[in-house]
Structure 1
Amino acid sequence: MKEKRGIIIAGAIIGILSVLLVYFGNPRNMGACVACFIRDTAGALGLHRAEVVQYIRPEIIGMILGAFLISLGSKEFKVKGGSSPFLRLILGFVVMVGALMFLGCPLRMVLRLAGGDLNALVGLLGFAAGIFLGIQFLNKGFSLKRNYTQTTIEGYALPLISVGLLALAIISPAFIILSQKGPGSQHAPIYIALAAGLIIGVAAQKTRLCMVGGIRDLIMFKDTYLISGFIAIFVFTLIGNLILGYFKLGFAEQSIAHADGLWNFLGMALAGWASVLLGGCPLRQLILAGEGNVDSAITIMGMVVGAAFAHNFKLAASAQGPTANGKIAVIIGFVILGLISYFNIEKTMNFKVKGGVSVD
């Protein structure tokens, strides 16, 4: 229990911060959502034209910079990359397609569940199913191959871009697009959102917090270390929502959610399968990128492209439900994952690899 204390405390902090971010202006059940915030930031930069989801989210910037600064200070910053970069970009794209079908990343899934949104329970079942499917390929020897030491500037690139985005968020020049209505117009003050992101980045870096890793390790090794962090997030977010009156139990009329159970399940199943192949959920990819992992930075770029593509071509779901284009995209996503999973099995491997790919 002693070794779990740190990750439980980290989960408690993230849960409390998520509720406070809603209190200070973020949309309900969206105190923190990596997929949603990447989508909003892509929109603010003009990469898509969905008017209701365009805002540079300081939380994302803070998570990257928090992980970057704490890894530098603890001498854990290591610049590595070169592990199937283009496939990782594609997998990042697929993760975003699945997440935007569900309307949230794994972190938001937990936050939605703690707010009483039972659609998130359906999403959780799908997410676990997708991870279970991915594990079957890990056990057969799936691998995206090893990574290699890279030049220092490779590792500094994404943190420097994050600083540039922060400057744009503060200065807000005319070419930055900001939503005047909808979720993009609902946000906590910049300094509060940035501070919360920095804290989340530090906490997640020190504890290796990862929803995909938690469910994967629970299934493969009966290890509850990582999943205990997300249980703590759920518990403390639930308490905060009950105190502040944000809790609303049910399927209907939930904040930025739809009640189509089949596509909530399939969207998160797609995101779960792709994430387990990548070795971590969207939050974990941000943290790894902050630590100097160039492969994770490329995955994030894939998510940015996926977010832009999803809204430009009407793949993303909305409160009214999934689109026809989105359903087709999810099905194609499963086919893509099947091909990537099958053709990256190392035939000579005859032992079980924990996680299949590099997580740390």
Structure 2
Amino acid sequence: MKDKKGIISTGAVIGLISVLLVKYGNPANMGYCIACFLRDISGALGLHRAAVVQYIRPEIIGLVLGAFLMSFGMKEFRTRGGSSPFLRFVLGFIVMIGALMFLGCPLRMVLRMAGGDANALVGLLGFAGGIGVGILFLNKGFSLKRTYTLTSFEGFVFPSLNLGLLALLLAAPAFIFFSTEGPGSKHAPWLLALISGLIVGALAQRTRLCMVGGIRDLILFKDAYLISGFISIFAAALIGNLLITKSFHLGFSGQPVAHMDGLWNFLGMALAGWGSVLLGGCPLRQLILAGEGNIDSAITAMGMLTGAAFAHNFSLAASANGPAPNGKIAVITGLIILLVVSYFNMEKEAIKMKGDVKLEA
């Protein structure tokens, strides 16, 4: 499925599934949102106590298990890791802070645009700008170093944790929190959400779907393969919103789970885009890679989960009323940290080689 027809078909399926999940209970323009769903899971586990965003989202479980099953069946499951693990945790944390300032991951950004949310266009500009900054450092030799082959057992841990989450969702013990109001209380039936996640996870694994990779490849190589998948998601979700849910509403105001502060929508997604480039993939891609046995991506996902908990414990996340003061400080701090990480992880050999080439020229 590495031809363009395959990824366009995948995008169409994901776009339509996203609309159907909203039709059957998910929050508006939130058929899928990796950042929002990880935030809900962190709340369900008691890592934060924001009562309106607590639920174990089966879509996340399905994404990981779908990628695991597909990669295992196609003999592509490989356990590897060891590439700057703590830095990846920190970068995952920072990406989550940026996404929750915008109120959505790159995938939800596309779904918000398909629902007519003009604020998401501002987010897209920031996202592309952040990716552009990240590319500058990639061109200057940025690297998180090589990965190493690890024992197969370690690769099974992250999918197994997701099976544990599914058990907790179904058993609903007293120590798991579930929202009774707000976005966390709105969800499609668990089996529909799980099956949807399995389908999307399997398709994303086969096509290597990644929003960050799409914009990066378009800028660096003029390669539209990956970005065509997200264009297809947008088109399919737009058609679904117009014909199935009839929920398309064009404009800045009155958009569901969104705010109209353009500057912080821009900066939030710039932070998420820059951090994701350094990580080598968007939040969706990180979950898919974790399902394939990539321990570095599993650590990144744990960083995002922790970032979501911090965002709500310390009032960093935005709301429909706009960004919180603490959140603004966190985004600016995150941008500074990314600058430091980007600079100090440039390969000296790559810099020297480029300097030598300039001298010879």
1-structure distance, mates of 2:315, 2:82: 32
SS at 2:252's partner residue? coil
Partner of residue 356, structure 1: none
Matches within 5 A, 1:207-356: 207-243=207-243, 244-349=245-350
1 CA distance for matches of 2:123 and 2:353?
Answer: 28
Distance 2:2 2:160 in 1: 36
Instruction: Give me the whole-angstrom Cα distance separating, in 1, the residues matched to 2:184 and 2:37.
Output: 9
1:196 aligns with 2:196: yes
1:352 Cα deviation from its structure 2 partner: 11
How far apart are 1:154 and its partner, in Å? 1.2
Give the drift of 1:320.
0.3
Matches within 5 A, 1:75-224: 75-224=75-224
Query: In the alignment, residue 326 of structure 2 is paired with which amino acid?
Result: N
In the alignment, what sits opposite 2:66?
A: 66
1:35 Cα deviation after fit: 0.4
CA–CA separation in structure 2 for the residues paired with 1:82 and 1:168: 30
Tell me the alpha carbon deviations over residues 113-152 of structure 1, each in whole angstroms, 9 at most, x when there is no partner: 0000000000000000000000000000000000000111
The 3-state SS of whatever aligns with 2:350 is coil
Mark the runs of 5 or more structure 2 residues left unpaired by the alignment: 355-361
The count of aligned residue pairs is 353
Contact 2:2 2:207 in 1 (8 A): no
Secondary structure of the residue aligned to 1:348 is helix
Other-structure match for 2:357: none
**Hey, what's the Cα distance between the residues in 2 that align with 1:3 and 1:30?**
28
Aligned partner letter, 1:169: L
Q: Which amino acid is 1:310 matched to?
A: A
1:2 Cα deviation from its structure 2 partner: 8.9
Structure 1 counterpart SS, 2:322: coil
Rounded to whole Å, the distance in 2 between the matches of 1:263 and 1:348 is 37
Q: Secondary structure at the match of 2:3?
A: helix
Q: Matched residues in 1 for 2:74 and 2:131: separation?
A: 31
Note if 1:30 corresponds to 2:26.
no
Q: Which portions of structure 1, spanning 4 or more consecutive aligned residues, are displaced by more than 2 angstroms?
A: 350-353
2:2–2:206: 8 Å Cα contact kept in structure 1?
Answer: no
Q: Unaligned regions of 5+ residues in structure 1, if any? A: 354-360
* Amino acid corresponding to residue 267 of structure 1 in structure 2: G
SS state of the match for residue 348, structure 2? coil
Structure 1, 1-10 or 323-332: larger mean CA deviation: 1-10
Q: Which amino acid aligns with 1:44?
A: A
Deviation at 1:351, TM superposition (A): 10
Q: Provide the rounded CA distance (Å) in 2 between the counterparts of 1:12 and 1:350.
A: 42
1:134-177 alpha-carbon deviations (Å, 9 max, x no partner): 00000000000000001112110110000000011111111110
Cα RMSD (Å): 1.4
Tell me the residue number matched to 2:4: 4
Report the equivalent of 1:357.
none
Structure 1 partner of 2:20: 20
